[in-house]
Amino acid sequence: MKKGMGTVGAQPQRQYTGTAGRIENAQVAVYLVYAGPRGHTAVDRELYVPRS
């Protein structure tokens, strides 16, 4: 989580962030990672931006 209006993807609308445990202006990203017996790799990522 990264805070601030100067951050790409930060919205004027405040949203709930689980790591902070409260509603505030923040950037939320979701990552999909594969981990197997021979190693791991990032598969996909998405920046969550509220519709409004």
| Predicted pLDDT at 52 | 62
Domain boundaries, the chain: 2-48
State pLDDT tens for residues 1-52: 555 556 665 555 677 777 778 877 777 788 999 999 999 999 999 887 766 6
48 bridge partner residues: 28
Identify the pLDDT of residue 22: 82
Closest to 1 (Cα-Cα) out of 21, 28, 23, 33? 28
pTM of whole model > 0.85? no
Asked if 13 contacts 52 with a C-beta cutoff of 8 angstroms, the reply is yes
